Amino acid sequence: MSSKFVDLMSKFGIDVDNYAIYKEAFTHGSSTKGSKINYQKLEFLGDAILQFIVSDKIYKNFKQMNQGELTLLRSRLVCTESLNELTNKMGLKDFLVSNSRVKINDDILNSKNVGADIFESLVAAIYLDKGLNVAKEFIYKTVLKSIDSINPKLELKDSKTLLQEHMQSFSKQSITYNTYSIDNKLFKADAIHDGIIYGSGTGNSKFEAEENAATIALKKLIK
């Protein structure tokens, strides 16, 4: 891994020891032939660690919430959109490499799914290199950085509800969503009001795609 990556990790108090595991965490599976290394297994592990740490924290912080409310809050914190945003802020896509001759192109770099995947794989790499406590601190400094300032009443409303409420403050016309499948695993949605697209989002389900579209629309409308 580059000195730039080592410097980035040091900002989180992490001394890199196992360089190979971090290289694996940023190796995109451009080739699926044979047993070539890519980040998919680390992503699987990182997702589980992330879910556990975030669940533990919000369970302890928001004792008044029921199971459904906690699930909704967790999904907002670790959704594809949120993790990709963190990845972009940290510049993690700069460290992506390919496991084949196929180059890392703009489609890969602009993919929100890839952004979320490499964040999860990085969490797993930190865990395998430094242990659970260090991985936990990393999650606290990134995903859970603003946890203490969360307003449960707002966070428990999904983005689609918040967007609809905002639009209804000045218009009687409802938000509609044009949602369609990009491929077997990915959906795209456009949040539309009065014929204008205010936000577009992607997700692994129609609901997630529409939520992400609404989130983007809210960010544009409420500054």
DSSP class per residue in 70-94: HHHHHHHHHSHHHHHHHHHHHTGGG
CATH tag, 3-149: 1.10.1520.10
Mean pLDDT of the chain: 88
Q: What is the dihedral of CA 204, 206, 211, 214, to 10 degrees?
A: 120
Task: Give the number of C-alpha atoms closer than 13 A to the C-alpha of residue 218, restricted to the C-beta side.
Answer: 17
Phi, psi torsion values for 156, nearest 5 degrees = -80, -10
pLDDT in tens, 196-210: 999 999 988 898 899
What is the mean predicted confidence (pLDDT) over 169-175?
A: 82
DSSP 8-state secondary structure symbol assigned to residue 149: G
Is pLDDT of 195 > 70? yes
Topology of domain 159-221, per CATH? Double Stranded RNA Binding Domain (3.30.160)
What is the mean predicted confidence (pLDDT) over 28-33?
A: 63
208 annotated as ligand-binding? no
What is the mean predicted confidence (pLDDT) over 22-32?
A: 80
The pLDDT of residue 156: 66
pLDDT in tens, 122-152: 999 999 999 999 999 999 999 999 888 777 6
Which of 47, 81, 129, 208 is labelled catalytic?
Answer: 47
- The burial of 33, by beta-carbon neighbours within 10 Å (0-12 exposed, 13-18 middle, 19 or more buried), is given as exposed
Q: Is 120 among the residues known to form the active site?
A: yes
94 annotated as ligand-binding? no
211 annotated as ligand-binding? no
Is pLDDT of 34 > 70? no
Is pLDDT of 35 > 60? no
Question: What are the sequence ranges of the domains in the chain?
Answer: 3-149, 159-221
Which of 81, 120, 129, 190 is labelled catalytic?
Answer: 120
Is pLDDT of 222 > 80? no
Q: Is 208 among the residues known to form the active site?
A: no
Question: 132-141 and 112-130 helices cross at what angle (nearest 10)?
Answer: 140
What is the mean predicted confidence (pLDDT) over 47-64?
A: 94
